[in-house]
């Protein structure tokens, strides 16, 4: 199936092209062959590119910088040429690289989707079945709605564009109101839910349940976007989530780690993935291979070919404190520079920690090591120091490195910036937590509803934790979501959803996070049963951020404002046909 996706991607690139500017304008030198859209297979080939190349600029770095760094899940303590510190400290500008890449990618998705919809409606031949015609248009509208969801949550009012050509004739582009954008999103997902098949036409393709899952997420967000909670939208969020849980045939994988143990692509918990492939064609690898893995792999010794550039990125102190048992709140001052976070080595039963972040001494038999500089050769344990010895408090590591999605070198499957593993965009686990969150909000902020607790615990106990029996609150569900989806680009959008109706709560949460340096030391070495966590007191000036109304949304990139100054004007409602 991966090979078939790659073949169809090559075909669609030849036929439609892929521009790199704001609207992904149809290039003049890549006119569509009207004879192409004559069979069902050709229509399916025409939408294959929507699953990969058009998302490249978002997935490579912007996905986790916005979704995880900005939310406080990840950090880097160093101000380097990278823009990670911009997202850590809420100083994103119109020039921040990942901001520019994300905005461009979202409109590439939209532009490509619009072009596909136009071409199918104009050129589809008489032998094309109505089922496949509607299915492929639904795929394009689903992807367009997903791109607009990220746009409106990151930038607020943005231009709604259905016809790329119309913009060419009218470059005075205006932003549309947030209400208009959300209505556009809702209509696209509703169409997708009505026209996508219940089972995938090809492995990895969208289904009706992908769209219903996105509708559950959308209605949960819409419930608060007016500033007050809408009970009907909360009910719809629960209805769509429960339909996916009970009718899709999907199920949670019994072991959390299997979600990321290669090969895991398109498993029975997945509802929507970006489809990446390993390819020996150098002209295609930067479009269709997963390059994100190069950015997050913490060491060259476990990278495919010297491309492990993630050694300066890891979990924040705030993130580590979310794992039950790892943190003891009674801090113990060691000296003027360091203090315990826990008076004795912390340990957690939560299996998601090991699968998401690397602590010294964690063992990963599945990772191959090219040398002994990062993983010890015998047991594949993450080394603590180059000589493998324990350390004093001041000699610990600054990072819990990223493990999720890191698969290391796989013979015949990986090469330099050329990885095959897919990226999750929607999983069944989210449906369980959406149902629980909607129930909490319906009940004034807390609930002991049996169904909500059952669904919450399906996710919670899968991680190796005992059943949760206390009343559920939004904060408890948010912490669960962060641990479940860390490094999946989700946490920021959870905060943005709450920001619609309770902004101060979100500001207080962000501004209380530890985003500065810390030290982690295993006890005992080399086979730790716990970890001492140390706060670096001299880094307190960078430990906290200040988020508020003026910097919660990201600015539209400067290059876009230069090309279309009308984007600075007040947004207007979108006129629906």
Q: What is the CA radius of gyration of the chain?
A: 23
Region 141-157: mean pLDDT is 98
Any domain includes 80: yes
CATH code for position 136? 1.25.40.390
* Cα–Cα dist 369/387, whole Å: 17
pLDDT for 182:
98
- Which structure tokens are listed for 92? 């994103």
Q: Is residue 261 part of a domain?
A: no
Per-residue pLDDT reduced to its tens digit, 335-383: 777 777 776 788 999 999 999 999 988 888 888 777 667 776 556 677 6
Closest CA to 399 of 59, 78, 61: 78
Supply the pLDDT for residue 577.
81
Joined together, the tokens standing for residue 89 give: 């400290």
Instruction: Give the pair of three-digit tokens for residue 516.
Output: 């500065």
Q: What is the mean pLDDT of residues 185-198?
A: 98
Q: Is 445 left (phi over 0), alpha (psi -120 to 50) or beta?
A: left
Q: pLDDT value at position 284?
A: 81
Residue 180 tokens, joined: 């208009």
The confidence band for 7, taking pLDDT boundaries of 50, 70 and 90, is very low
Give the span between the Cα atoms of 205 and 272, in whole angstroms. Answer: 8
Please report the pLDDT score of residue 575 as a whole number: 94
DSSP 98-123: HHHHHHHHHHHHHHHHHHHHHHHHHH
Helices (H) and strands (E) in the chain, counts: 21, 12
Separation between Cα atoms, residue 227 and residue 203, nearest integer Å? 40
Read off the pLDDT of each residue in 159-175 and give the average, rounded to a whole number. 83
- pLDDT of 99 reads 97
Report if residue 35 sits inside a domain.
yes
Q: What are 75-131's pLDDT values in tens digits?
A: 988 766 578 989 999 999 999 999 999 999 999 999 999 999 999 999 999 999 999
The total domain count for the chain is 2
pLDDT 10s digits, 500-541 = 999 999 999 999 999 988 888 888 877 888 888 888 877 665
Residue 137 lies in a domain: yes
- Whether 280 is in a domain gets the answer no
Q: What is the pLDDT of residues 425-454, one digit of tens each?
A: 999 999 999 999 999 999 999 999 999 999
Q: Domain holding 463: CATH number?
A: 1.25.40.900
Q: Which residues pair with 272 in a beta bridge?
A: 426
Where among 511, 546, 571 does a domain terminate? 511
In the three-class reduction of DSSP (H, G, I as helix; E, B as strand; rest coil), residue 143 is classed as: helix
Q: Answer yes or no: is 333 within a domain.
A: no
Q: Which residue, of 206, 223, 239, is where some domain finishes?
A: 206
pLDDT at 4 over 50: no
Does the structure show a pLDDT above 60 at 32? no
Catalogue the long-range contacts made by 191-194 (C-beta closer than 8 Å, 24 or more residues apart).
Answer: 191/137, 191/138, 191/141, 192/138, 192/139, 192/141, 192/142, 192/145, 194/138
In 3-state terms, the chain is what percent helix, strand and coil (to 5)? 45, 10, 45
Contact (CB, 8 A) for 229 and 28: no
- Establish if 64 belongs to a structural domain: yes
CA pair distance 332, 55, nearest whole angstrom: 46
Last residue of one domain, picked from the residues 158, 182, 206: 206
- pTM exceeds 0.85: yes
DSSP label at 169?
Answer: T
Identify any residues that bridge with 401 across adjacent strands, giving them in sequence order: 314, 358
Is residue 403 in a domain?
no
Lookup: tokens for 360: 């010294």
In the block, tokens 């932003």 appear at 175
**Other beta carbons less than 10 A from residue 123's beta carbon:** 18
Q: Which residues constitute the domain of residue 84? A: 2-206
């Amino acid at each position: 199936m991966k090979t078939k996706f790659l073949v169809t991607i090559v075909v669609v690139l030849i036929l439609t092209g892929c521009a790199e500017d704001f609207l992904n304008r149809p290039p003049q030198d890549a006119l569509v062959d009207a004879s192409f859209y004559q069979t069902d297979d050709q229509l399916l080939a025409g939408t294959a590119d929507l699953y990969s190349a058009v998302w490249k600029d978002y997935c490579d770095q912007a996905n986790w910088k916005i979704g995880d760094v900005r939310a406080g899940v990840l950090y880097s303590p160093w101000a380097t040429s990278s823009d990670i510190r911009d997202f850590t400290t809420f100083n994103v500008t119109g020039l921040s690289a990942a901001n520019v890449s994300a905005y461009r990618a979202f409109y590439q998705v939209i532009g490509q989707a619009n072009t596909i919809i136009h071409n199918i409606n104009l050129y589809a031949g008489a032998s094309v079945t109505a089922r496949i015609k509607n299915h492929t248009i639904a795929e394009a509208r689903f992807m367009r709605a997903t791109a607009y969801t990220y746009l409106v949550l990151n930038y607020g009012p943005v231009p709604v564009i259905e016809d790329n050509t119309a913009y060419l004739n009218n470059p005075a582009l205006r932003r549309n109101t947030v209400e208009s954008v959300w209505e556009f999103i809702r209509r696209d997902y509703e169409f997708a839910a009505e026209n996508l098949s219940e089972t995938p036409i090809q492995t990895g393709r969208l289904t009706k349940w992908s769209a219903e899952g996105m509708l559950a997420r959308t209605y949960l967000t819409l419930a608060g976007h007016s500033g007050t909670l809408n009970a009907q939208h909360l009910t719809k969020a629960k209805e769509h989530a429960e339909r996916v849980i009970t009718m899709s045939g999907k199920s949670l994988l019994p072991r959390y780690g299997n979600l990321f143990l290669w090969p895991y692509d398109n498993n029975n918990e997945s509802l929507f993935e970006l489809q990446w492939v390993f390819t020996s064609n150098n002209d295609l690898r930067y479009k269709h291979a997963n390059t994100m893995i190069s950015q997050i792999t913490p060491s060259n010794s476990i990278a495919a070919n010297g491309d492990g550039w993630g050694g300066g990125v890891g979990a924040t102190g705030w993130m580590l404190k979310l794992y039950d048992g790892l943190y003891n709140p009674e801090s113990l001052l060691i000296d003027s520079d360091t203090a315990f976070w826990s008076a004795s080595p912390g340990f957690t039963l939560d299996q998601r920690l090991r699968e998401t972040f690397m602590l010294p001494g964690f063992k990963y038999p599945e990772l191959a090591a090219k040398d002994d500089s990062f993983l010890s050769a015998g047991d594949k344990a993450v080394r603590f120091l180059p000589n493998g010895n324990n350390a004093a408090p001041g000699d610990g590591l600054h990072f819990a490195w990223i493990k999720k999605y890191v698969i290391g070198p796989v013979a015949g499957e990986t090469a330099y910036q050329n990885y095959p593993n897919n990226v999750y965009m929607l999983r069944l686990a989210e449906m369980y937590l959406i149902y629980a969150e909607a129930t909490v909000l319906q009940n004034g902020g807390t609930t002991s509803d049996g169904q909500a607790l059952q669904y919450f615990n399906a996710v919670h106990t899968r991680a190796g934790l005992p059943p949760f029996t206390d009343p559920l609150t939004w904060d408890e569900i948010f912490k669960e979501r962060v641990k479940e989806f860390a490094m999946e680009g989700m946490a920021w959008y959870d905060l943005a959803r709450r920001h619609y109706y309770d902004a101060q709560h979100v500001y207080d949460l962000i501004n209380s996070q530890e985003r500065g340096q810390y030290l982690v030391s295993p006890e005992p070495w080399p086979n730790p049963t716990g970890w001492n966590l140390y706060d670096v007191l001299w880094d307190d000036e960078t430990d906290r951020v200040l988020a508020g109304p003026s910097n919660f949304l990201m600015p539209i990139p400067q290059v876009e404002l230069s090309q279309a100054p009308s984007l600075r004007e007040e947004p207007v409602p979108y006129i629906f046909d």
